[in-house]
Structure 1
Amino acid sequence: MKPAQKDAYTLILEAIDHGGFKPGDRLVESELAERFGMSRTPIREALQRLETQSLLTRDGRSLIVSSLDHNQLAELYVVRTELEALAARLAARHATDEEMRVLRDMVEADRAHLGDPSALARANRRFHKQIHLASHNRFLVQQLDMVHRSMALMASTSLAAVGRDEVALAEHDAIVRAIEARDEDKAGQALRDHISKAFVTRLKLDSGGVSSVE
């Protein structure tokens, strides 16, 4: 069976999410059409949609990838913390044995990515997405998808900070252990602590307070 072809919106969003387009980059309709091998009409519609979602910002007649200032970053982390903690609580309540097995396997497999911030960042997104799905609440998953789209506007990952990768993986392990134990309070708190520490690391990175790997 031939895999479904990705639309223009998904292709541009993934390029932003994976660092192909960074905050401040100008997106040109004709260049995107050539890059993705499609007509300019779906590209134009995708750009309009991304602008509506505040992922792109108007700069005169051009559109550029948005960036987050300090206040926007703080606001985003407040929302993310609460929603992620709720997802972990619900996952502890509703996750199937198979979903818990997948989470455990992810933690074990991600050890191979230590020292590779880009690979670990991709694995981190998959891990959190799996927790969202294990919550078995479609409306919560939709809201978290919106939050994580905005997270793509960060120019770097907090996992690039020296030593953060091993600590983050230990935090993932604690989250999974709480979910496996069906301990809703502990799972929610473990996820909350994980996001809080990631936010502190990001603030230090942005201020030059900690070093990052090359």
Structure 2
Amino acid sequence: MTDLKAAHKDAYALILDAIDVGTYKPGDRLVESELAERFGVSRTPIREALQRLETQSLLVRDGRSLIVASLDHNQLAELYVVRGELEGLAARLAARHATDEEVRVLRAMVEEDHALLGDPSGMSRANRRFHKQVHLASHNRYLVQQLDLVHRSMALMATTSLAAAGRGERALEEHAAIIDAIAARDGDAAYEALRAHISAAFEARLRLDAARYGSDI
């Protein structure tokens, strides 16, 4: 029974991770047999994982097939509003509860991430890691759970805002400002710094989308 539960959990995690890293992008069709072969998992846990992802709106029906969902402009705006508030709250709580060790880990991440400038995919993975560490530093399990849901939906974006020219450098500067506020135990400043960071990311994404729409004309 334990092995069966593990297989079901692993199938879900494997597909979710594949969407998150861009192996499967919005609009891609997910075929049960192909997924089972790719991940070396039987079709039953794959089927249940797909059903779970559909109930979470990460997959949608296209006839009899399931495809990776995509976000329209309004959904994108709504997601960033929620993300900004929840991330800001996480930063505020981190300023109150983060340990000195957690602050040092955050600083080390920013230093290490400078080596990834010019690599949007690598920066995107590092950015997710940084934000997750801020979430954990809030020491509020319920907030972390809600932010996990939000970040799953972020995987439905076809491109990363860090692909915008100069965005990687600015994002690292914003990360450093967030850490400074957390280290100073200034909850208001941490909240505002993280909200400003999310706002800048949203603006960069809108600019990328506008440029893409223009190239399609």
Residue of structure 2 equivalent to 1:24 = 27
Cα shift readout 1:26-65 (whole Å, capped 9, x = no counterpart): 0000000000011100000000000000000001100000
Q: CA deviation at 1:106?
A: 0.5
Residue of structure 2 equivalent to 1:95 = 98
Residue of structure 1 equivalent to 2:68 = 65
Task: Kindly provide the amino acid, as one letter, of the partner of residue 190 in structure 2.
Answer: A
Cα shift readout 1:174-198 (whole Å, capped 9, x = no counterpart): 0001001101000000000000010
Residue of structure 1 equivalent to 2:194 = 191
Distance 1:209 1:197 in 2: 18
Distance 1:16 1:30 in 2: 17
Distance 1:33 1:67 in 2: 23
Task: Kindly provide the amino acid, as one letter, of the partner of residue 67 in structure 2.
Answer: I
Distance 1:64 1:28 in 2: 9
Q: CA deviation at 1:209?
A: 7.6
Task: Kindly provide the amino acid, as one letter, of the partner of residue 19 in structure 2.
Answer: I
Distance 1:38 1:22 in 2: 21
Query: TM-score of the superposition, structure 1-length normalised?
Result: 0.95
Is 1:12 aligned to 2:12, yes or no?
no
Cα shift readout 1:128-176 (whole Å, capped 9, x = no counterpart): 0000000000000000000000000000000000110000100000000
Secondary structure of 1:57's match?
Answer: strand
Match of 1:34 among 30, 34, 37: 37
Distance 1:117 1:140 in 2: 28
Match of 1:129 among 116, 127, 132: 132
What CA RMSD, in Å, does the superposition of the two structures yield over aligned residues?
1.5
**CA 1:209 to 1:42, structure 2 compared with 1: closer, same or farther past 3 Å?**
closer
Q: Which runs of 5+ in 2 are unaligned?
A: 1-5
Number of residues of Structure 1 aligned to a counterpart in Structure 2: 208
Identity of aligned residues (%): 79
Distance 1:74 1:155 in 2: 15
Q: CA deviation at 1:19?
A: 0.4
Distance 2:156 2:83 in 1: 14
Residue of structure 1 equivalent to 2:57 = 54
Query: TM-score of the superposition, structure 2-length normalised?
Result: 0.93
Residue of structure 2 equivalent to 1:178 = 181
Structure with more helix by fraction: 2
Q: What are the residue-to-residue correspondences of 1:115-126 with 2, within 5 Å?
A: 115-126=118-129
Distance 2:30 2:107 in 1: 39
Q: Which runs of 5+ in 1 are unaligned?
A: none
Secondary structure of 1:208's match?
Answer: helix
Is 1:207 aligned to 2:177, yes or no?
no
Q: What are the residue-to-residue correspondences of 1:152-167 with 2, within 5 Å?
A: 152-167=155-170
Distance 1:37 1:109 in 2: 34
Distance 2:198 2:41 in 1: 38
Distance 1:39 1:109 in 2: 39
Secondary structure of 1:83's match?
Answer: helix
Task: Kindly provide the amino acid, as one letter, of the partner of residue 159 in structure 2.
Answer: S
